[in-house]
Amino acid sequence: MSRLFANRDAALAAIVVALVLLIGLRSPVFLSPASIVGVLTDTSFLFMLTLAQMAIILTRGIDLSVAANVGLVGMLSALASRAHPDVPIVLIILMSIGLGALLGALNGALIAGFSIPPIVVTLGTLSIYRGAIFLIAGGAWLTSKDMTPAFIAFPKLSLLGAPILIVIAVVVSLGFWLLFDHTRIGRSLYAVGGNPVAARYCGIDLGRQQFFVHTLAGAVSGLCGYLWVSRYGIAYTDIAQGYELTIIAACVIGGVSIAGGIGTVAGALLGALFLGVVVNALPVIDVSPFWQTLISGAVILAAVVVNARGSRRVGKIILREARQKAAQGSAA
């Protein structure tokens, strides 16, 4: 369970609860069950994509192309549904997951195959995937009129009394928890991020892990791509643009270390929830949505500074001793 809960996760949970209660104090409607379900439904994309990004960041990587992947697969799924209206929705969803995985695998192959830093590859594929949306759709907007009723209806379904988006997010989260905490692959991800050299000596291949996490993140992005387009009933070139940074922000707030090897499922989910609550609460408490960017920036900075205090100077003991000796030497 150590990777599901950590002390700082409890602190973050307390902060999120306090935030929700504070907002509820100002406008009690925010605490109504309908509102809470609404916030969770809105945040379900962020939950899934944050966990996918976390898997990559654990291996010291980063993926800037996830949002472009979401947009491209979303557009493809909408086009596919328009071209073949009688294809069952399950097939469309499976196709989206597959296409997303393919785009992610391309990232992974470039990163692992050519030993290119993930930030460079995904910076490149971000432009490529985003441009591809424009090319395949000719710059057109697809609205709900272009989509079949079944395509639109799926994200509005309920399962066990909960919106299906929340159910999917829960299932995906459980999957990531099982992966990180209960499989050999998960442990390898932490090992690679914690110390790549040591991991190599233990027989863990960095390239294989990189390929795996990027493909996995691609599959999750593909799923989110279909869900995003069908939920909002619109597909266009700039869909989900800039969302990659929101996802990374959620990871950082959730205590996933950008230096790799550190992070918990609960932390990542709480980081995503924090941003989700902020975004949804602003209109409720009559704050202009223009504040959203500023607040998330301030929260990211606060989160990294607080995290740094806990983990600073670990592994730099020799250097610190050298510095102290130098200081004593100059004082004497």
The footprint of another protein (CB under 8 A) covers 62, 64, 110, 114-117, 119-121, 123-128, 130-132, 134-135, 139, 237, 245, 248-249, 252, 258-259, 288, 290-298, 300-301, 304-305, 308-309, 312-313, 319, 322
Residue recorded with tokens 């995290």? 307
Query: Both tokens of residue 155?
Result: 């994200």
Give the separation between CA 229 and CA 296, rounded to whole angstroms.
25
Which of 232, 242, 247, 214 shows the shortest CA–CA distance to 75?
232
**159 vs 245, which CB is nearer to another protein?**
245
Query: Both tokens of residue 61?
Result: 């990587």
**Looking only at Cα atoms, what is the longest distance across the chain?**
85
Residue recorded with tokens 């069950």? 33
Q: CB 304 → another protein: shortest distance, Å?
A: 5
Q: CB 301 → another protein: shortest distance, Å?
A: 4
Q: CB 196 → another protein: shortest distance, Å?
A: 13
**157 vs 259, which CB is nearer to another protein?**
259
Q: CB 250 → another protein: shortest distance, Å?
A: 11
- Strand segments (E) across the chain: 142-143, 158-159, 162-163, 234-235
What is the secondary structure of 124-147 as a DSSP string?
Answer: HHHHHHHHHHHHHHTT--EEGGGS
**223 vs 252, which CB is nearer to another protein?**
252
Q: CB 130 → another protein: shortest distance, Å?
A: 7
Give the separation between CA 136 and CA 297, rounded to whole angstroms.
34
**145 vs 313, which CB is nearer to another protein?**
313
**124 vs 194, which CB is nearer to another protein?**
124
Is the Cβ–Cβ distance between 49 and 63 less than 8 Å?
no
**150 vs 295, which CB is nearer to another protein?**
295
Is the Cβ–Cβ distance between 318 and 324 less than 8 Å?
no
Residue recorded with tokens 């869900």? 227
Q: CB 327 → another protein: shortest distance, Å?
A: 14
